Amino acid sequence: MIQLIAAIIFGASLLGIIVILYRKIPVLVKLPQNGKIGIRDYHVILNIENRIKEVFISFKKQIFLHKFLSWVKVMTLKTETKIDTLLQGIRKKAQKIDKELKDKK
């Protein structure tokens, strides 16, 4: 009995699929075969989708974090170099002042 019900359901499903295909095959044949979907600027949409995918891939690979941390490192090194230059200038001035004080004695 269960097998009969399963066979009836299978046959009805198969018949339904055949009817749907019979009705939709003419519509599918009329569709363009070059892949265009009717939108005039389809390449623009593809470019936008590709850019969005690249951004998501960048987030997955943590490229933005790497770039930000590299930028912070470069700024830190530049600041360190400027501070070092200022300290050297202060030391030279201090040495001049010490030398002038020793010369006066």
Residue range 87-100, pLDDT digits in tens: 999 999 999 998 88
What pLDDT sits at residue 53?
85
Q: How far apart are CA 29 and CA 33, in angstroms?
A: 9
Q: Let me know: does 39 contact 45? Beta carbons within 8 Å.
A: yes
pLDDT over 90 at 7, yes or no:
yes
Q: What is the mean pLDDT of residues 63-81?
A: 93
Could you read off the pLDDT of 32-58 as tens digits, one per residue? 666 666 555 567 777 888 888 887 887
What pLDDT sits at residue 23?
92
Q: Residue 100 corresponds to which tokens in the numbers above?
A: 């002038």
Q: How far apart are CA 23 and CA 42, in angstroms?
A: 28
Taken in order 86, 87, 89, 94, is the CA torsion positive or negative?
Answer: positive
Going from N- to C-terminal start, the domains of the chain cover 32-104
pLDDT over 60 at 76, yes or no:
yes
Average per-residue pLDDT for the chain: 86
Report percent pLDDT > 70 for the chain: 89
Q: Let me know: does 77 contact 83? Beta carbons within 8 Å.
A: no
Its pTM stands at: 0.42
